[in-house]
Amino acid sequence: MKPNPKYFDKIRVRPDPEAEAKARAPLCQWDGCNEPGTHRAPVGRMAEGQYFKFCFHHVREYNKGFNYFSGLADSEIARFQKEALTGHRPTWTMGANSSTRSAPDFAQQRSGRAGYYARMRDPFNMFGGQGTPRQRKAKPLEAKALETLGLDSKASGADIKARYKELVKRHHPDANGGDRGSEERFRDVLQAYRVLKQAGLC
């Protein structure tokens, strides 16, 4: 048996992926280096998309001293950075063309500032709005509950509570000697108050 059989190594040892890449790579472009050039390094400004091929040690050496803006004045570097904000596309100053007409800050009818403030509710006048706060319109079930208590839709939470206490004392079965008519009215008052409380009116 041979000491280094060709097929035996392929079976027993997992092939090294880097060895194949090194075998196919061109030589390092560093002067006097014969290692495979497996790493890319950018050529420089005005040569974007072009790369040198270096070995690992020389690409590190090259990257330490690489400066994209070498040879440029500070004003040129500042101009490049300013143009980079817009992707190096041309821009124009606002209002430079006298024939153009600038749009208003906000559309007055459809949206924007005026429409927003017209729709905004400020019941406690926190933002200094003009006029009185809008009254909340009672839903049908809430309106019926208010009617049961003998109140209108402008009644405050304190009014509702005071009226509820008054009606409970008046229609409680103990206060009326077990009168059935008064007992039904008592149930209606309890139900009406429960509806208004769930609605957040009291």
- For residue 47, what are the contacts with CB-CB under 8 A and spacing of at least 6? none
Measured distance CA(148)–CA(154) in Å, rounded: 15
Instruction: Flag the least confident range among 14-23, 87-96, 170-179.
Output: 14-23
Q: Is 53 helix (H, G, I), strand (E, B) or coil?
A: strand
Higher-confidence position of 131 and 44: 44
Of the candidates 156, 186, 159, the residue with the CA atom closest to the CA atom of residue 170 = 186
Helix (H, G, I), strand (E, B) or coil at 8: helix
> Average model confidence (pLDDT) for the chain?
78
> CB of 36 within 8 A of CB of 28?
yes
What band does 118 get if pLDDT is binned at 50, 70 and 90?
low
Model-wide pTM > 0.85: no
- 8-state DSSP, 137: P
